[in-house]
Structure 1
Amino acid sequence: MRTFVRGLTEAVRIVVSAPKNLVGLDRYALQDYFASLGEKAFHARQLLQWVYQRGVTDFSEMTDLRLSLRQTLSANAVIALPEVSRAQHSQDGTRKWLLCLPDGNSIETVFIPEEDRGTLCISSQAGCMLTCSFCATARQGFSRNLSAGEIIGQLLLADRLLKQEGWGERPISNVVMMGMGEPLLNYDAVVSAMRLMLDDLSFGLSRRRVTLSTAGVVPAMDKLSEDCPVSLAVSLHAVRDAVRDELVPLNRKYPIDALLEACRRFLRNDSRRRITFEYVMLSGVNDSEEDAQTLVSLLRGIPSKINLIPFNPVPGVKYLCSDPDAIHRFRQRLISSGLTTITRKTRGADIAAACGQLAGAVQDRTHRSAKLAKTVS
């Protein structure tokens, strides 16, 4: 019995003394942490600037903190980021990193360089809770939500890696929550991470440069407009519920009419904003002249921009991309009706980094990936 109690005591001591990862804590959470150490709140400001603005993760290098505080932090806390398992470079300059998490899951993060900006595509879940039929991530199944630290850690890590490659002092100008997972099904962690992206003490990005993409979790869309009104992108992909039910099964819970009403509500607090509607082009599924005209009618009165996305092949997925002529006709129909419409340029397809291709390595608790593998075989 004494041996058991001694072992239990040792286990508790190990848990209690485990260093606390400070990545993902906002200024208020950091103030609370420093208060728990008996320190002043202003140290939170100092730490944020060291980590997010200067990229310093070693407490000993934070020279405006007194030596004894640096020693206390080194003994009790860490600035821990995901580890790079594999890095891939596309011919078009796109970077993709496979990042290993402590529990064995892996996620993917993508950097897309353009002449006037650098966009980082960030994951919010290990796998995805949704089952969109055209998406590689959905076929991986779902393991868990990422923490705020694992989400913002992707930005910290990518910023460091790109600076090491010589991309300048501000390589990332835009962030899109469009990686693995449905961000609004990991609401609290995603909002916490985005607030750090926006905080002037951290990355200081403007709201228009942070975009959250959702398949349409209507109640969370309403909440987001109040809590953290960043730019919103909606994965629409179809104009009829019967089709969208197949492409985006979440539509069975929040059909198109309800989704578009949520979009209108989202814009009420700021008339200057507009919503980006994403529309993957699938041959014979959603690319007809009638589909284009219906889309015009559906979006009437909603300040918007439409991104037409040529479908990127995914192993085991039955769909084919609309041919270029069909995409052109669809786009011209929308433009002629007064809708701002672009055809998204495919980036990173040679390294499976394009839209809908991110997969990672997920410890699938849903067994979805195994079931799909049996179906294909």
Structure 2
Amino acid sequence: MSPLPLITAQTEEKLLAFLTEHGHTKFRAQQVLDWVWRKRVTTFDAMSNLPPALKNLLAEHFRFHTPEIVEIHGSADTTRKFLTKMEDGSLVESVIIPAAVAENGEKSERVTLCVSSQVGCAFGCKFCASGLLGLKRHLTTGEIIGQILSAETIAGKRVNNIVFMGMGEPLSNFDNVADALEIITSHRGLEIGARHITISTSGFVPGLKKLAAYPRQIRLAVSLHGATDEVRDQIMPVNKKWPLSQLIPALEEWSRGRNQMPTLEYILIRDINDSPKDASHLVRIAKRLHAKVNLIPYNTVEGLPWKRPSEERCRSFRDAVHKARIPVTMRYEKGHDINAACGQLRLRKEQEKNGWTPR
């Protein structure tokens, strides 16, 4: 028998439809959501202002559950990666990234959580640990939300910035991610502003088209990592199905009618995509999309052949992009000392359990 659905996976619309069907009012739905998200109760009995019949109805159809936290790894830069076990035994990684200093130089209260959307990944980017074990399945809405609840328990404070940059391709799990976004952004949910949420895609064009029609102003980051089909074909298999000739128009469609700049994520890999010519191709795309660029020197993954360029090479690449008047930052991966790149902790755990070694 399948377990009951999670109350924490119910959007306001879905919960209201359920309660209306059972003869209850919108006010009751608001009360339930207030108990779940404001008071953070973990039982229906704790909802003291609900009639017993309603508490019994909820208990018959829904349940509470937060994923089990298996491991927590702290970093010298205050980043914390944690591994959670889902009810079927699947392992999922998430990363908490506190911002120590705000833009004005004062202490920042921002707590960013990097969440996963799938168990593993089917897209198989050649430099990434997430895809080494392939895709096991999509994460449910409740499992996505569960990562946020677990992170708040670990951090001891509210998460107020979400990036869908963990394991998996979020736009290939669009329906569950969209429901999670409704709960995250709702006034009767986690109430995190849409502009404090970023979805990253490797270039899944069908999902980008769905996101273009999505009404909330969610930020978009594109894992470009190569500015020509030749480079992307080498390191990102998704490009063979949706090359730049399809990806760039899809990004233009997303941008249309939005007062937002997409971010082009670009991992610098030694002798693969870090030449002056690569920088020139990247500038051309960024200008066409009115995009900003985030450069990330490669975070080494054990068992993969790719290397991080020298500091001088990274700075030279950044300067070439900046000289072309493209907004550019260079972000060194936080948590480098705890293997914080996507999928590394899960990969190590699976290796320990099954004796599996990447080829």
Q: What TM-score do you get using the length of structure 1 for normalisation? A: 0.86
Q: In structure 1, give the amino acid aligned to 2:132.
A: R
SS across alignment from 2:299: coil
Q: Is 1:239–2:227 an aligned residue pair?
A: yes
Q: Is 1:99–2:92 an aligned residue pair?
A: no
Q: Is 1:133–2:126 an aligned residue pair?
A: yes
Q: Distance in 1 between matches of 2:191 and 2:163?
A: 15
Work out which of the residue numbers 124, 128, 142 in structure 2 matches 1:149.
142
CA contact (8 A) 2:93 2:342 kept: no
Partner of residue 272, structure 2: 285
SS across alignment from 2:8: coil
Q: In structure 1, give the amino acid aligned to 2:267.
A: V
Deviation per CA, 1:146-202, whole angstroms, max 9, x where unpaired?
111111121122223322xxx4xxx31110000110001111101110111111111
Question: CA shift at 1:269, angstroms?
Answer: 1.6
- RMSD of aligned residue pairs (Cα, Å): 2.1
Q: Distance in 2 between matches of 1:265 and 1:303?
A: 13
Partner of residue 332, structure 1: 319
Q: Is 1:343–2:349 an aligned residue pair?
A: no
Q: Equivalences for 1:213-224 in 2 at 5 Å?
A: 213-224=200-211
Q: Equivalences for 1:196-345 in 2 at 5 Å?
A: 196-227=183-214, 228-270=216-258, 272-345=259-332
CA contact (8 A) 1:87 1:98 kept: yes
Question: CA shift at 1:275, angstroms?
Answer: 0.4
Partner of residue 67, structure 1: 52
SS across alignment from 2:24: coil
The 3 A distance-change label for structure 1 pair 26 and 361 is farther
CA contact (8 A) 1:126 1:362 kept: no
SS across alignment from 1:208: helix
Q: In structure 1, give the amino acid aligned to 2:298.
A: F
Q: In structure 2, give the amino acid aligned to 1:118.
A: V
Q: Distance in 2 between matches of 1:139 and 1:62?
A: 44
Partner of residue 68, structure 2: 83
Q: Distance in 1 between matches of 2:206 and 2:5?
A: 33
SS across alignment from 2:37: helix
Question: CA shift at 1:225, angstroms?
Answer: 1.7
The 3 A distance-change label for structure 1 pair 124 and 276 is same
Q: Distance in 2 between matches of 1:305 and 1:113?
A: 23
The 3 A distance-change label for structure 1 pair 291 and 19 is closer
Q: Distance in 2 between matches of 1:355 and 1:75?
A: 38
CA contact (8 A) 2:83 2:346 kept: no
Question: CA shift at 1:54, angstroms?
Answer: 2.8
Q: Distance in 2 between matches of 1:114 and 1:88?
A: 17
Q: Is 1:110–2:64 an aligned residue pair?
A: no
Aligned residues: 347
The 3 A distance-change label for structure 1 pair 22 and 254 is same
Deviation per CA, 1:193-237, whole angstroms, max 9, x where unpaired?
011111111111111111000001112112112124410000000
Q: Is 1:31–2:46 an aligned residue pair?
A: no
CA contact (8 A) 1:140 1:361 kept: no
Q: Is 1:46–2:31 an aligned residue pair?
A: yes
SS across alignment from 2:234: helix
SS across alignment from 1:234: strand
Deviation per CA, 1:316-373, whole angstroms, max 9, x where unpaired?
1111001110110000111111111111132112221135645368999xxxx96x73
CA contact (8 A) 1:179 1:358 kept: no
Deviation per CA, 1:44-83, whole angstroms, max 9, x where unpaired?
2222222223322222222232234224433542121211
For structure 2, the 5+ residue unaligned runs are: 101-107
CA contact (8 A) 1:107 1:360 kept: no
SS across alignment from 2:289: coil
Q: In structure 1, give the amino acid aligned to 2:86.
A: L
For structure 1, the 5+ residue unaligned runs are: 1-14
SS across alignment from 1:312: coil
Q: Distance in 1 between matches of 2:97 and 2:347?
A: 18
Q: Distance in 2 between matches of 1:307 and 1:285?
A: 17
Work out which of the residue numbers 163, 166, 180 in structure 2 matches 1:176.
163
Question: CA shift at 1:311, angstroms?
Answer: 0.6
The 3 A distance-change label for structure 1 pair 355 and 76 is closer
Q: Distance in 2 between matches of 1:29 and 1:65?
A: 19
Q: Is 1:162–2:155 an aligned residue pair?
A: yes
Greater RCO (Cα-Cα under 8 Å, separation 6 or more): 1
In our comparison, the structure showing a higher alpha carbon Rg is 1
Q: What TM-score do you get using the length of structure 2 for normalisation? A: 0.91
CA contact (8 A) 1:180 1:358 kept: no
Q: Distance in 1 between matches of 2:253 and 2:61?
A: 45
Identity value in percent:
35
